Every structure is written in C-alpha cells, then in structure tokens.
Amino acid sequence: ILILAVAFTILCAVIVLRITPQFSSTASLIIEANKANVVSIEEVYGLDTERKDYMQTQYEILRSRKIAESTVESLSLHNNVDFIGGEPSPSLFKTLIANAAELLPFLPQTEVKTYTEAEAAALQKRRAVNKLIQSVTISMVKNTQILKITATTTKPSLSAEIANTMADVFIESHLQAKLEMTEKATRFLTNSLDGLQQKLQHSEKALSAFYEENQVVNLDGVVGLAATELEQLNKQLLEAQ
C-alpha cells in the first residue's frame, strides 16, 4: 500500500509539473445606457439606448468575431508564439493512417495540401481568432451597466494586454459606428434641406408671378410652410454637425 501511495504521489506530481500554468486578467467596461444629447441623430434612426435589450446588444457585439479579428490584428497575435504556439501537431489517428499508408502502398494515398503564402497567413489568422474566442470570457455584472472581459493565457502580461486591447477595440468600434451614423444622418438632412430649398425657390417664383399677373403689390408677411420646414431642418443640421 505504501508503494502504491508513493507511486500515485509521484504520478500526480509529474502530471502537475507538466500542466502549463494559466493566468487570467480582467478589464471592465461601463456601458452608458442613457440617451445621448444629440437628439437629431438619435431620433432620425430611432436608437433608444434605454431599452432593456441594449446591454445584451453590446454584450453580443463585444463577443463577436469582428471584435476578435480586430484584436488579433492590433496585437499581431497570429505571429505571437506565446499565444498561438507552434504549428499544430497531427492527431494520433491521422499519424496512424499516414504510417499505414506508407507501409501499405496499395491503400488510397492522401495528397499533402500545399498553401500559398497568403493562404497560410489567412489560416494562421483564423487559428489565432479561434483561439482568442476560446481564451476570452465576456460576462455581464448583474443589475449594473458593467461588462467584464477576462482573458486567459500562459503569460500574465499577455492576458492583461489582450483584455485591455479588446476593450479599446470595442470602444473604437462603438465610436466609429456613431460617427458613421452621424455622417449618414447629416447627408440625409443635407439632401432634405437642398430639396426644400429648391421647393421654396420654386414656390417663391410662382408666388411672385401670381402677384405680378394679378397686380398685387403687398408681399410683406408671406411665409409659407416650406420656409418653416427649411428653418427646422437647418436647426437639425447644425445640431448634427
């Protein structure tokens, strides 16, 4: 019994020593769910940040593949040996099949697929993105507006760098989306403004021609609906810019 106990202890010690230590680092994000003060932009697209599903939406965006891909690009994780490791070793089954094919030439032979440099780089990036998705956990803190990003790798500094960079990528993506929405709303308001200006000019010309034909002299105080709409759109355009 003593020998078995010693052997078991030695076996456990060997297994523990062979296990690669893992280090986790967490970054926190506060998601402001209050409506921004840019009313003209928010109202044009109907974006209500006070909805109950707003936090869930931001959670899904944060854990999306697009954010992971941008993080891999930012940190060049596909070239980081500490993160992605070496080339993946073939499985035991594939190794046995390959050995059997060499010993038995009459069996169907599997052709070795070769990749171009671009294909190999794309494959390496895909591996890095897949590993990053597996290495990162996104969680919502109950009854708060906080999202937590926890990265786990074999290096504590790398874990911290990944968690912080993913938070930065999410913030940049959010700001970029806001900027694109603002630009689109500005174009919409500008086009509407141009249309109303043309409509107003046409109406003024028609009104002037009508007064001339009917010999009406007093034109003071004539303000049409188009002029009112034009003033409102001008105000919204200034707020958007």
pLDDT recorded at residue 209: 75
Q: Is a pLDDT exceeding 50 seen at residue 186?
A: yes
b (16+ CB within 10 A) / e for 79-93: ebeebbeeeeeeeee
Extract the tokens encoding 135: 């290495």
Cβ–Cβ < 8 Å for 189, 233: yes
Using one digit for the tens of pLDDT, what is the confidence trace for 106-163? 555 556 567 688 888 899 999 999 999 999 999 998 888 899 999 999 999 999 999 9
Q: Is a pLDDT exceeding 90 seen at residue 7?
A: no
- State the average pLDDT for the chain: 76
SS3 at position 209: helix
Residue 54 to residue 181: CA distance in whole angstroms: 17
Task: State the CB neighbour count (10 A cutoff) for residue 218.
Answer: 7
Cβ–Cβ < 8 Å for 120, 59: no
Angle, CA 174 vertex, CA 172 and CA 179 arms, to 5° = 90
In the chain, DSSP assigns E strands to 23-30, 136-140, 146-153
pLDDT recorded at residue 198: 81
Extract the tokens encoding 106: 């009459």
Residue type for 66, please?
Answer: K
Extract the tokens encoding 51: 């909805």
Phi-psi region of 215 (alpha: psi -120 to 50; beta: other; left: phi over 0): left
Give the rounded percent of residues in the chain with a pLDDT score beyond 70.
61
pLDDT recorded at residue 72: 95
Using one digit for the tens of pLDDT, what is the confidence trace for 37-93? 444 455 445 554 455 688 888 999 999 999 999 999 999 999 998 888 755 544 544
pLDDT recorded at residue 132: 94
